[in-house]
Amino acid sequence: MRELVLDTETTGFEPSEGHRIVEIGIVELVNLMPTGRTYHQYINPLRPMPPEAFAVHGLGDDFLRDKPVFTDIVDAFLEFVAGDRLVIHNAAFDMKFLNAELEWASRPVLPFERAFDTLMLARKKFPGSPASLDALCRRFMIDNSARTKHGALLDSEILAEVYLELLGGQQPDFALSTSAARIGGVGEAPAAPLPRRPAPLPSRLSDEERAAHAAFVAKLGDGAVWRKYGV
């Protein structure tokens, strides 16, 4: 099953007030495993960046001025997301912006039922506890030290780890210490990794599933990220 862990950054909270998307980041999972494929795009919102939004993600007018507008990237975006499930933290926020941009670009909107909301899942699993992405990283001991500001691709990579933990399993980390350098050098890697769960959760894979995974990894070639972990 192909799933797409997605995050956006915007100029504000409401597209109905003229706010726009300025960044989209997506991490591809197949059968709950990262394939190494990502989608990352900065977007010129064709409007000034409010100071309060700049304080969140650090994407200013000068940086975004030469970036493509949404109508220039919409077809590539739709081709990447295809018809697969979108895993989003607070899905209502990102979906309303994505669908507003798609409507303005005269494209069909994304059905909301395609979105799987990890915020709702976290609140169901841990009622009464903080359910922000940072809070869930603390709960699952996931290193988010590179997240000094919000960034769509970095947040998608972190959310992918959180998503797997919310489902009850633990996968090798997504090399988050190098993610910041790849998307702009925000933050520094910690001197030592944060502690992980003392004992891994028992595997729920059958021998048939292990064989299917090995065949899948073989098709990805020698550069597949999972070869680093010997699986």
Give per-residue pLDDT as tens, 160-203: 999 999 998 655 444 443 443 333 333 333 344 445 555 666 66
pLDDT confidence of residue 176: 47
pLDDT confidence of residue 184: 35
Residue labelled with tokens 């507008």: 69
Do 117 and 222 fall into the same domain? no
Domain that holds residue 231: 206-231
User: Strand, helix or coil at 37?
Assistant: strand
- State how far the Cα of 59 lies from the Cα of 51, in Å rounded to an integer: 10
Below-70 pLDDT ranges, the chain? 169-205, 217, 221-231
Do 154 and 217 fall into the same domain? no
Do 224 and 156 fall into the same domain? no
Distance separating the N- and C-terminal Cα atoms of the chain:
18
pLDDT confidence of residue 159: 97
Do 190 and 115 fall into the same domain? yes
Q: Specify the number of domains making up the chain.
A: 2
- Helix axis angle for 70-81 and 91-104, nearest 10°, is 120
Do 114 and 220 fall into the same domain? no
pLDDT confidence of residue 108: 96
**CATH no. for residue 141?**
3.30.420.10
Q: Is 19 a catalytic residue?
A: no
Per residue in 205-229, pLDDT tens?
677 777 777 777 677 766 665 565 5
- Among 40, 57, 150, 213, the one annotated catalytic: 150
Say what the pTM is.
0.73
Do 50 and 155 fall into the same domain? yes
